[in-house]
Structure 1
């Protein structure tokens, strides 16, 4: 079901009406400023932006269908103390949008929740974008019909000034959220990824705070919902302010259906006094709560299944020496590891297999995964280096 809606989502974004125009933006181009392109573009147009820095060039996009794409190495949008509507560098009002190969940096607003992108209603796909030093990388509304897909993107460097928690990605109570092939690192007190969506598909990402990062939760679903978390590396740093790596249901249910499916994730803690790799607030969630966790690899001191409801199989605890080279972000197992092949067959739930069919690949993106003869716990079935 989740795969079907994602394919339909991408196909819908590709259907442009006839007579769509291409608008070129940048130094020496017919349109010099992005804000001017936002006023001139019509439904179905494509806006292409030349490489370079665009300072204070904030915009509100009101079209119903639009593609915005960076050319070559891509443009870098620097807020420079400016914001659209006091919200973000770019605000998307309502429609179907594709944003590709653009960097967003330095979003600050008086309410202290400035975003690189504020997505209000509709469907949005973000591909190969970079979000750095924003109060929120992307912040959505709570529109219950909206959908957000993020692919092959990077979110990093949460601001370290005082004020409300800064989340690298904050998804509100929307219908569906999908995240794949993306890297998150160097949070500060807030979370790397926080989603209140009804349905979540988080696959093949590197959510690893890294040295110098001090995020709280690495992945949080505060209102429960349906969540597939497959094939990710999710890790907290030594400086984290919270022992929990994955949090589910802390603020109570917002949706009638709550189910968490964790498969083939590598969960890492660098804390000396141990981590809570998975914490589920089952007392806040419906009695019909379903939890399945298979073939996850926990790395570092801490607990995983203790105190958590549900079905657990094929999960394996180890320490960092089992990984090839975490310092260079190579989280594969060594070729002689005794952990290889110790997993179980991932089940099919709700018509969807929990078996991975890809792996995260640096710097961002994924590489396809052929089905192995036997399954290995963790995010990587291969022992090939990540670089």
Structure 2
């Protein structure tokens, strides 16, 4: 990712002031919030609008999916749409909740035996929708099943699904997740995950919250390129396996995240890499400025490496749990600090900021950049599902929080 700001991240005339500020903030941090732009906006045109809901001629999401044309914005009236499952194949669609949240309890219904929504269009955006209770006969139901194309999920919630999101193995797919909530997951048998991304081209996750797993992982990704920035992956009282796993390697930039393993976990590893080998041409793991908290009574393992990566860098991380972080000639590893729970403002309430006056404040070092993307945090996660700017001149400290 280039450190310059491409034209496509500039605010469109359709942005509200808060959205415009968020886009400019992320652009200034070198993060492209929208890796694609709908064709109509790219050409300077206006987007046709289809209004959906009880007070409009098109009352259901299924009817809207049948009537929508490429390039449309669907403004969906707030409320509940029980059992209103749909398949979306059109390119350049935007689905946006209006007037509050749009809740879609599956109530036993599913599209194509796969989930609540099945998407295959290019440059699709879904904003402000809640996906609840996806269950299918093969027990692999998803709130959103991404089959092809490219998708942005923004301010969406996933609750009590067999999988929150499930993305196919398609090397042309790109997926952006911003300010979304994944959890709690439906009780499963180890094959369901809060979010499971197949072997796609690129995954970007920003300002999102993954929590309360059940046998599966909070976030599992096989993507070739992964940018996991400023998120909270805290199993809390759940029974997740890995909190974060890259089973077939790839380029993984993991910066500014809170990652917590619960006392009732079913796997003693927090992060896993290459457990199934290396399937991508480029395999690097950069763990920078994360806060890793292991609450397993017997102690756990912060990082499990299945195979050596081409680059492995662990810099500026805070760690609570076993004071074991094996070094080796295959890794760049420094300025990582083990701390007790009393180092944090309120660990029992998942407030993992360093206490004021901590001797660790200001003890981080610049980790440099990868492909032009700076790995010095310009923001931090703000609960729930938000981002907070790190003001210029703030003392640079280890861990996920600077402010």
TM-score by length of 1: 0.93
Q: CA deviation at 1:14?
A: 7.0
1:38-117 alignment to 2 at 5 Å?
Answer: 38-117=65-144
- Please say if residues 87 and 113 of structure 1, whose CA atoms lie closer than 8 Å, have aligned partners that are also in contact: yes
For residues 208-357 of structure 1, the aligned pairs below 5 Å read 208-210=234-236, 212-282=237-307, 289-306=310-327, 309-357=330-378
SS of corresponding position for 1:29: coil
Contact 1:88 1:116 in 2 (8 A): yes
Equivalent runs, 1:161-200 vs 2, <5 Å: 161=188, 163-200=189-226
Larger CA deviation: 319-328 vs 75-84: 319-328
Give the CA deviation at 1:21. 2.1
Aligned in 2, Cα 1:2/1:152: closer, same or farther, shift over 3 Å? farther
**2:123 touches 2:149 (CA, 8 Å); kept in 1?**
yes
The two structures, once aligned, show a CA RMSD in angstroms of 1.9
Shift of residue 371 of structure 1? 4.3
Specify whether residues 142 and 206 from structure 1 end up closer, same or farther in structure 2 by C-alpha distance, changes over 3 A only: same
Do the aligned partners of 1:174 and 1:196 also contact (CA within 8 Å) in 2? yes
> Counterpart of 1:39 in 2: which secondary structure?
helix
Deviation string for 1:10-36 (max 9, x for gaps)?
452374475642111111222111100
Count of matched residue pairs? 376
Q: Which residue of 2 aligns with 1:385?
A: none
1:204 aligns with 2:230: yes
Paired residue for 2:48? 21
Deviation per residue, 1:334-365 (Å, 9 max, x gap) = 11212212222222333332111100001111
TM-superposed CA distance for 1:372, in Å, is: 4.2
Q: Would the aligned equivalents of 2:278 and 2:307 in 1 still touch at CA under 8 Å?
A: no
Q: Which runs of 5+ in 2 are unaligned?
A: 7-30
TM-superposed CA distance for 1:112, in Å, is 1.1
Q: Contact conserved, 1:13 with 1:98, CA < 8 A, in 2? A: no
